[in-house]
Amino acid sequence: MSLSLQILQHVPVNNYVLLAAMLFCIGVFGVLFRRNTIIVLMCVELMLNAVNLLMVAFSAMHNDPGGQIFVFFIMAVAAAEVSVGLAIMVLIYRNSGSVDIDLLNKLKG
């Protein structure tokens, strides 16, 4: 227990903020960088996890379980989002024979 007891005494919260910012930016970068829709969805998951990590860090900082409860709800929403998103992706693949995100511009005005 003594290992995790003082993690925020050894590592400042700013380091966790930096780490979460980096993970979030990698997620944004991946969404812009890739054309495979499944990998874009994976990068969205990465961004969600960056926010989760930040929320757990602040929860430990303030000694408040509310932040961890919110992470719990975000996980539930992410699971629902992924299941519907992958179903949509299979439908797109069945209709157009590809998961290229640049082909999905039919709704463009």
Partner 1 sequence: MSNYLFYILSFLSIFSALMVVLSRKPVHSVLYLIFCFFTIAGHYILLNAQFLAAVHIIVYAGAIMVLFLFVIMLLNLNAETEPHKPLIIKGASVVTGGMLLVVLIATFKSAAMSVSSPEFNSDLGMVESLGKVLYDQYMLPFEVSALLFLSAMVGATMIGKKEI
Closer Cβ to partner 1, 57 or 109, answer by number:
57
Under the binding rule (CB under 8 A), the answer on residue 77 touching partner 1 is yes
Residue 100 and residue 35 in contact, taking contact as beta carbons nearer than 8 Å: yes
Place of tokens 């797109």: 92
Compute the chain's Rg from CA coordinates. 18
Under the binding rule (CB under 8 A), the answer on residue 107 touching partner 1 is no
Under the binding rule (CB under 8 A), the answer on residue 51 touching partner 1 is no
Q: How far is the CB of 4 from partner 1 (least distance, A)?
A: 5
Say which residues have a Cβ less than 8 Å from residue 74's Cβ, sequence separation at least 6. 48, 51, 52, 55
Residues 7-46 that bind partner 1 (CB under 8 A): 7-19, 21-30, 32-36, 38-39, 41-43, 45-46
